[in-house]
Chain A
Amino acid sequence: MGEFNVHRVRFFDYMPSAIRALAFQPQRERIAVARTDGTVEIFNRADCFFQEKVIPGRQQAATEALAWVGDRLFSAGLNGEIIEYDLDNNKTKYTIDAYGGPIWSITSNKQGTHLAVGCEDGTVKLFEVHEDRIQFERNLAKQKGRIISLSWHPSGSKIVAGMMDVIHIFDTETGQSVQRLLVDRGVGTSRSQECVVWSVVYLSDGTIISGDSAGKVKMWDSRTGTLIKSHQVTKWDVLTLSVSQDETSLAVGTSEGHVVQFQFLSMVLGQEDKEWVRTRTFKNHTHDVRAVLEVNTAIVSGGMDTQFVVRPLLDKIDERGQASALRNIQFPHRRLVSCARKAGLLLFQYPGHLELWSVLTVKRKPEKLLHLKIKGEEHICCSAVSPCGGWIAYSTVASFRLYRLHCENNNVSIIKVSKLPKVLSSANQICFSSDSSHLFVASTCSSVHVAILNQSGCKFVCTLKPKSGERFYLVGNDMQRVIYCFRMFQPHCTVPVHSSGVSAMAIHPTTNNLFMVHADQQLTEYSVEKKQYTDWSRQVQRHGLHSLWLERDTPVTNVTFNPKNPAHIVLHDMYMFCIIDQTLVITRLPNTRSQFYNQLTLRSMPEKERKKHSHAFKMCKIFKELLFVELMEDQSLVVVERPLMDITAQLPAPVRQKKFAT
């Protein structure tokens, strides 16, 4: 395969923001994640926790809580607004003000008819969920102090609200408070501080479980209003609770970064009397666990340290496999870097600005050519630089911008293309054709707009629309299962549906084969000419991929081709990059017997023997925490790394630091 010059880039200061809330949609197995910058991400539990959708946030967003009502996702935040999201178009559908000051929590009843929000002014507001909107219905009896947490009784007739030093139970029919539970403050110095009930859960048997800032998880009897049991879980705060759907297991997130599991077990074997017993402690976080979810076979947690952790409950999993592995999702499952292969430019996408860097000049140090701040509050949702380096495009939810770029001997000039076609108002994906003559913009309503780029500007050509209402993208990574191919801007064919979402795909410039990598690590190659899977793809499917390949837990986020050698495909995920040599596959696809990561072994062998032992997957694990890998025109590799240590260094100090021998 040969030698590669590698530009190892570490100056992309990507910084994920902290996870604030999690919500689980059990029917479709989707997990919604809200981050502190207002971003909402949708993960598909059934599809290896693939990040299907990202709804970009905006400045001063302060999302506090999330709630699913059927397939609809709502959020509420400290700006006092309730937002419903348009999950088809990855944007906000509408926003309404609850007029109760900052909202601390939002929750829906099991029937899906009502939403309850807890406000700073001490009211619990009920909203009726209509087909296309939500409608304010009534206030429950106003209390003194803010409503921090809420939980509906599964019957929908009662609602429990956690406040400062007190928990109230409301009857939703009358709107009156029927019980008032006093929560003890912590001992010692925290006695003078109010005890914040960060989270409450109302179980169907009438038990209320609360977690508070005194570090206690308390079980209450809602009928008598008495404390049944109190567990001191931590010295700090218990921030979040989540109960499993069958109400036998409870996950507790604390501010020292631990997740503690409680289980509803009978104390004596064979007897009916059951009690909540503290069973396990998971220490996967370094900072506050702000949100936790109990999803039957796993505990999902997230917090200040920005990691999305899926901790499987091994007692509920029979087989070893994808489901039994600990998952720690740190990077987004999409590209934040784009690359001008010919010009040697890298475009880094930050939430509020873009940075353009020149690499690929061996003699000069890489330098920052451009720092492009965007206007408005919305965060960037996608960006691209054309392969020739002459155009930059980015889009927020509200606007689309195209810039003409001139780079000559350190002189960088940038001109905004002013007269854009009206249809180009926003984009989910942006793509330039390989000769930089066309711009493809994937937009709302499942359409792709095509525009011609020339010296004078940008001219709209046509809009590609699928026949059915499904959405698609021509090239790029999207989560929709149906892929359409267009040829000469005419519908050409439909790629057969695969069970798992596409994490990265690309059309080969010479052979016109569409190469796809799925979230479950499967590889497929589809011949656009013949409208069928290629022989290589069939062979791979028949042979099966190596188990070590399938066990990787981060999806491939970029696919490119070697311009010099059409048989070489370059892929990467977070921990490795790989060059697949399609010429080798027929004889030497790695099977389970052969060594998969064999580069070191091959290095130590004499040249004659190497051929005998090499296989199609050239795995390279030298570089870690990869955000981007691209093979440039001159056969050099650009590798963008973001060491997790650097991310950790930017986090605030954790509340509990591990001391020696404690």
Chain B
Amino acid sequence: MAALYESYTLCALADTGPEGTRAIEPDRDRDRVVITESGRAVTVYKVSDQKPLGSWTVKQGQCITSPAVYNPPTKEYVVVTDEKVSAEVYRLHSVPDREPLVLFRHGAVRFLDSLLAAPQQTIEEVLSEEEVIRWSAAVQMEQQLVLLFSTEQRGQHCLYVQRFSPNALVKHRLETDSTNSTPLSYAATYRDGNIHLLYLFSSGSVYESVLQARPTVPAVSGTVQALPRSLLLKLPVGEGELTAASALPVDESHIAVVGVPHPLAGAGKDYLCLWNTHFQTLQAARELAGKIYGQLWCFSGKLFVPHGKILSVIPFECQKSSLAAAMGKLKQTSGTNGITLSVWSCIDTRRHNNDNTLIIQLKMSTRNQSSCPTAEQLAEKIKVGSEKEVQKQVEEFLHGSQPEELQLTAGRLASALVMRCQADPTFYPQAAFTQLVQTNYLCHSGCPDLLVLTLEKNDFRLCQLCLQLFQDIPEAVTCCCLKTILSFQDSELEQVDLEDGLLFMKALTQTAEVSDDGDSGQHNGFSREPLALDMSCPVGLHKGALLNEVLQVPYSDSLLLPHLKDLNVPQVLLFLQYLRFLYLKYSQDAHSRIPALRKPTVTQIMDWVCLLLDAHFTVLALTPEAKSLLTSLHKFVRSQVKLYSELGKIEGSLEALKKSKQSREIGQYSIEVIELF
């Protein structure tokens, strides 16, 4: 899901006409941008305050030909006037922590410092006379810097990829979409080790090409290969073609598009739209007044769109969506515990933080930030430090970090800890793990080995926590947990402190005794005797509490079923007995009296019974020990079916009761009889 928030105006725009260079570049901090416009003025704005911080203009007669950029090493702003250094400059590109790159009109590239050191050096001509650069971008990868630029020559579009150290220039051909269709905008982002190039054609097609950061096959000089591409989205264009439009990826599954008509609105209206490329859906749209220039920028969660005579800033939010979460059953107990989960939330567990009453939220204090180690330092420390040291460091780090920071680093730290534990069997900082899990920033996909590790180490307290807090546990791991719990002896589990889950189990077994004593007689002529036969809990309290957590883990039927088959017959029998016990208890209405934050629902229990029987029916049918269990389940189900059929019979009379309450339609006149007493 994505949403556009209320927009605000950053500044008014001078009317520059179509030829004016207007550009927005990021400044040294996230909240500032450098705006170059009207060919003569550069202004630095503080975005959140909507205020200009400084402004420069060039002399009369001069003209800014390349937008101003920030030069981090020298802390200066650099601008090119009248296209000239030693050859015609196309554009400057700011690179984090490095000198800006200078791209010349004929394709040569230099770092600014080397250019300034020898201003009169000769600049080679890479491109032919008629080849014109249309777009360029510098992409900073982990270690490497890549400059991309596209050119046009007689309707032919090419993409050049310039890599540095060693310098290499690779040329690709860009296939056009159809006849007369030209690329309108490009955007390049670095993601998962690859450069993703997104380009929008005037026919409304949005293509994505993935360029590997390091080319595996050295480019064969002389041949120009077409760039492999995939169609991401076909935007509705309406009649005619797009003229000024722009598409920009805002995260891996969303793109922002300006200048493309809204599919539902009529012509003549301009919209900013957020599209989901996974599901091909329009997620949010905002009408923009005034002329659209087909320009769009995105910095730190805000979109910058010039339209009419203003530059609007539109904050947005894109929540991650995942198909696995959409398909899996995110089963949650409802009612008393107040945990609500949205279907879209499995990656980012942090968001339920507010709703989750169960989790003790750690106080994030910023006071000892100076003494607090950075994540990198900590990760290093984890590799070598003793258990106590690591424990202390993790605690300090958790106390001293900002929530945003934690979100990014929690998974990394946990993975580092798990790796250390796997390498060193004596190392197991249980408290550190617990604290990390309880921050709520951790999920199973963040450190896949943690849950398995807890099982290896028989740390059931942490296992319980993980089962409670991770929403994305794969079915295989769920089954693995189930198997381990079932195979453990009750006596071995008794030392584990399971808190709330244990209380629920205690209350459940106690009510059993009370009701056994008290309600042995008849109830409305109905005897409970045959049902109350086997009411003692088949497993220990601790094991029961852990099984309850497993029951509440989200899962998907078809994915769980094959893994359930791994359980052996005694385990299946024990689990079935326990489920039957729970179900009988629930059907006696015992659970509703027990105040617990987390408890399995009746539907969860029933679903597990069905799954278990599906997975093992033939085996159970052949096992003599299972016979009595199966018959008692059958008996119980039969009595339930009978009850519902009886209820169905009186449904008609219940309906009539409901109807009698509704008032009748009264006409203009009626004669009625009333009786007063």
List the interface of chain A (C-beta within 8 A of B): 1-11, 359, 362, 365-366, 579, 599, 602-603, 610, 614, 618, 620, 622, 637
Contact = CB atoms under 8 A, between A and B. Distances in A.
A8 B666 contact: yes
A622 B676 CA distance: 11
A75 B311 CA distance: 55
Contacts, number: 52
B675 interface: yes
Contacts of A614: 677
Contacts of B671: 5-8, 362
B673 A6 contact: yes
A7 B670 CA distance: 6
Given A7-B669, A10-B667, A602 B674 contact: no
B129 interface: no
Contact of B677 (A7, A359, A603): A603
B477 to A, nearest CB: 40
Given A1-B676, A8-B666, 20 more contacts: A3-B673, A3-B675, A4-B676, A5-B671, A5-B672, A7-B671, A8-B672, A9-B668, A9-B669, A10-B666, A10-B668, A10-B669, A365-B669, A599-B677, A602-B677, A603-B675, A603-B677, A614-B677, A620-B674, A622-B674
A70 B671 CA distance: 52
A487 to B, nearest CB: 34
A7 B672 CA distance: 7
B491 to A, nearest CB: 56
A366 B669 contact: yes
Interface residues on B, range: 10 to 19
A491 B437 CA distance: 96
A423 B667 CA distance: 44
A321 to B, nearest CB: 30
B669 A620 contact: no
A602 B666 CA distance: 26
Contacts of A362: 671
A88 B666 CA distance: 43
Contacts of B675: 1-4, 603
B13 to A, nearest CB: 21
Contacts of B670: 8
A637 B672 CA distance: 10
Nearest to B675: A3
A610 B677 contact: yes
Contact of B669 (A2, A5, A11, A610): A11
B674 A4 contact: yes
Given A11-B668, A11-B669, A579 B676 contact: yes
6 contacts: A1-B676, A1-B677, A3-B675, A366-B669, A618-B676, A620-B676
A133 B669 CA distance: 51
Contacts of B674: 3-4, 6, 620, 622, 637
Q: Which 10 A-B pairs have the closest CB atoms?
A: A602-B677, A1-B676, A618-B676, A11-B668, A6-B672, A8-B670, A3-B675, A10-B668, A366-B669, A610-B677
Contacts of A7: 669, 671
Contacts of A8: 666, 669-672
A599 B677 CA distance: 6
B669 to A, nearest CB: 5
Interface of B: 666-677
Nearest to A601: B677
Contacts of A3: 673-675
Contacts of B669: 7-11, 359, 365-366
Of residues B667, B671, B673, which shows the largest number of chain A Cβ atoms within 10 Å of its Cβ?
B671
Contacts of B668: 9-11
A579 B675 CA distance: 12
Nearest to A578: B676
A618 B672 contact: no
Nearest to A637: B674
Nearest to B670: A8
Contacts of A622: 674
A4 B675 CA distance: 6
Interface centre among A8, A11, A618, A622 (most CB of B within 10 A): A8
A472 B321 CA distance: 81
A2 B675 CA distance: 6
A599 B667 CA distance: 25
A599 B668 CA distance: 26
A21 to B, nearest CB: 35
B524 to A, nearest CB: 23
A1 B675 CA distance: 8
A637 B670 CA distance: 12
A515 B370 CA distance: 89
Contacts of A6: 671-674
Contacts of A365: 669
A620 B672 CA distance: 13
Nearest to A10: B668
Nearest to A362: B671
A451 B668 CA distance: 37
Contacts of A4: 673-676
A637 B676 CA distance: 12
Nearest to A13: B668
Nearest to A359: B669
Nearest to A6: B672
A9 B673 CA distance: 14
Contact of B676 (A2, A5, A11, A359): A2
A365 B668 CA distance: 11
B320 to A, nearest CB: 26
A5 B667 CA distance: 17
A7 B668 CA distance: 11
B673 to A, nearest CB: 6
A2 B668 CA distance: 26
A11 B666 CA distance: 12
A599 B675 CA distance: 9
A3 B673 CA distance: 7
Contact of B673 (A5, A359, A579, A618): A5
Contacts of A366: 669
A622 B675 CA distance: 11
Contacts of B666: 8, 10
A622 B670 CA distance: 14
Nearest to B672: A6
Contact of A599 (B672, B673, B676): B676
Contacts of B667: 10
Contacts of B672: 5-6, 8
Contacts of A9: 668-669
Nearest to A7: B671
Pick from B666, B667, B675, B676 the residue with the most CB of A within 10 Å.
Answer: B676
Q: Pick from B666, B667, B674, B675 the residue with the most CB of A within 10 Å.
A: B674
Contacts of A5: 671-673
A608 B277 CA distance: 78
B660 to A, nearest CB: 14
A614 to B, nearest CB: 6
A283 B149 CA distance: 62
A365 B671 CA distance: 10
Nearest to A11: B668
Contacts of A1: 675-677
A610 B669 CA distance: 32
Nearest to A598: B677
Contacts of A2: 675-676
Nearest to B677: A602
B227 to A, nearest CB: 47
Contacts of A599: 676-677
Contacts of A620: 674, 676
A639 B657 CA distance: 28
Nearest to A622: B674
B271 to A, nearest CB: 19
A1 B670 CA distance: 22
B294 to A, nearest CB: 27
A408 B670 CA distance: 24
Nearest to A639: B672
A366 B666 CA distance: 15
A303 to B, nearest CB: 29
A4 B672 CA distance: 8
